[in-house]
Amino acid sequence: MHTTDPHIVLGTMDFGTRVDADRAFAILDSFVAGGGVWLDTANCYSFWSDPSGVGGASERLIGAWLRARPGVRDAVRIATKVRQNPLIPHSWPESAEGLSARAIHDGVEESLERLGVDHVDLLWAHAEDRTVPLEETVGAFGELVAKGVARRVGAANHAAWRVERARSLARERRVEPWTALQLRHSLLQPRPLTPVAESGHRMLTAEDLDLARSEGLAVWSYTSLMWGSYVRADKPLPPTYDHPGTTRALAVLDDIADELPATRNQVVLAWLMRQGIDPIVGASRVEQIEEALAARRVRLDDEHLARFAEAR
């Protein structure tokens, strides 16, 4: 996996839809003031919450914030994604954009316009598109890096073998390969072999981590804090998490949180970062991002990790 210190990444999925501009601006300001760097968005955020039936609200809000804060672009890095935005309002997945060269170039061009920037620091392929030759997708991502439109490229919700195949194709074509993975991961895990309810979510596996560590890839985790379920009684865990491993892991989590002391959320984030994973944290209030950033000061040792490993 990559050797730089892991970051807390601000997830902006709900910005411009469920989180209004004033609150989003306050969260972004607090994130930067607290030393946060990476913003994670996507061109499809959040079509399911937007009356328009298409994405773009999150990127537009970030663009408005950048314009309102001259100079702040130099302080942040922006990651966005192509693939999944409905091309016809309220028609998903039927009209979801794919990963053809044209779809990628068109999607990025529209993202840059909404963001009001000339490049993004990391461009993700949001999900697989097996209707398009992988060579075509790899070539298009490589072109965008060569043009300076994307500094780096990565794959979200992709099987490890597809990522490595894409990297091999990139080497053959002498273009920039995917150097980052984004997958769903947290301390608590669903029952083995049980699909999660969220369409399109792909869970981080041991194989993904093995690939990342072998090849020096960055790993970002989403749903890192389970929608607040670690700390909020009104956000119960999905039924697939109802198994003995959850009970054991939560007991260890409470013990370690008391010992440190830290909040449950902070210990989970520290656990992810201790493994070299960059956790994405969605926030709807300033206090939430302040709590998350404070997790950088939480230090877990090998004994803590061993206790968690035994419990899970």
> How do residues 243-257 score in pLDDT, each as one tens digit?
999 999 999 999 999
93: helix, coil or strand? coil
pLDDT > 70 fraction of the chain, expressed in percent and rounded: 99
Task: Report whether 201 contacts 184 (CB < 8 A).
Answer: yes
State the first-to-last Cα distance of the chain, in angstroms, to the nearest integer. 23
In this prediction the pTM is 0.97
Is residue 250 assigned to a domain?
no
Is residue 306 assigned to a domain?
no
Q: How far is CA 249 from the centre of its chain?
A: 23
Domain that holds residue 193: 9-237+265-298
Is residue 119 assigned to a domain?
yes
Q: What is the SS3 string spanning 235-267?
A: CCCCHHHCCHHHHHHHHHHHHHHHHCCCCHHHH
Is residue 2 assigned to a domain?
no
- pLDDT at res. 3: 57
- Once rounded to an integer, what is the mean pLDDT over residues 39-47? 98
180 pLDDT higher than 80 = yes
**76 vs 36: CA distance, rounded Å:** 8
Is residue 246 assigned to a domain?
no
Angle formed at CA 13 by CA 11 and CA 16, multiple of 5 degrees: 120
Q: Name the average pLDDT for the chain.
A: 97
Is residue 243 assigned to a domain?
no
**128 vs 158: CA distance, rounded Å:** 6
pLDDT digits (tens, 9 = 90+) for 230-279: 999 999 999 999 999 999 999 999 999 999 999 999 999 999 999 999 99
Is residue 126 assigned to a domain?
yes
Question: Which CATH number goes with the domain that contains 170?
Answer: 3.20.20.100
Residue 101: pLDDT band by 50, 70, 90 thresholds?
very high
**266 vs 282: CA distance, rounded Å:** 14
- pLDDT at res. 5: 85
- Residue count of the chain, please give it: 312
Number of domains in the chain: 1
Is residue 303 assigned to a domain?
no
pLDDT > 90 fraction of the chain, expressed in percent and rounded: 96
Task: Report whether 28 contacts 294 (CB < 8 A).
Answer: no
